[in-house]
Copies of this chain bind each other. A is one copy, B any other.
Amino acid sequence: MEKCIELAKKASALGEVPVGAVIVNAHGEIISEAYNLRETENRATAHAELIAIELACKKLGRWRLSDCSLYVSLEPCFMCAGAIILSRIPSIIFAACDPKAGAVGSLDNILNDKRLNHQCEITQGVCSEESSMLLKSFFKARRKK
C-alpha cells in the first residue's frame, strides 16, 4: 500500500486526483502499477485501478486475474469495481473510503453482490489516514486556485 501512496503522489504532481493502484500475484510480485491520468490523457476511464487491470491483462496475456490481488489508495468507483468483477480478481485491499462515489461499501458494495458471477474479498483501512490526508490536501490546494 505504501507503493500506492507513492503512485498517488505522482498523480498529484500532475494535477490528477491522487489515487494509486498496484496489482500483485500470489507470490507478492508486482504485476502492474498505475495512477489516475484522466486530465493528462483526457480520458474519462483513466482511473488507477482500470489502468492497472489493463496493464496486468496485457502482461499476463489473459483477461482472468484470478491469482492476483489489487491494492488501491481509494475505494473503487462503480466502473473500477465492475472491472474488478470482470477480471475475476479475488481480493482487493483499499485505504480510504469514498463516501461520494465508492461502490465497495460507501454507496453500495457490488463486490459482495451474490447476484453477480464473482465476489471479492475486501480489506479496508490500510494506510487509510495517509491516503485521506493526501486527497484532502489535493482538493484544498485546488480550491485555492
Contact = CB atoms under 8 A, between A and B. Distances in A.
Copies in the complex: 2
A44 B88 contact: yes
30 contacts: A38-B63, A42-B57, A42-B58, A42-B62, A43-B57, A44-B53, A44-B57, A44-B64, A44-B87, A44-B88, A45-B83, A45-B87, A77-B82, A77-B86, A78-B79, A78-B85, A79-B79, A79-B80, A79-B81, A79-B82, A79-B83, A79-B85, A79-B86, A81-B82, A82-B82, A100-B116, A101-B116, A107-B113, A108-B108, A108-B110
A2 to B, nearest CB: 26
Interface string A58-86: 10011111000000000001111111011
A6 interface: no
Nearest to A115: B107
A135 interface: no
Contacts of A83: 44-45, 79
Interface of A: 38-39, 42-47, 50, 53-54, 57-58, 61-65, 77-83, 85-88, 100-101, 103, 107-108, 110, 113, 115-117
Given A42-B57, A43-B58, 18 more contacts: A42-B58, A42-B61, A42-B62, A43-B54, A43-B57, A44-B87, A44-B88, A45-B54, A45-B86, A45-B87, A46-B63, A78-B85, A79-B79, A79-B86, A81-B82, A82-B82, A101-B116, A107-B113
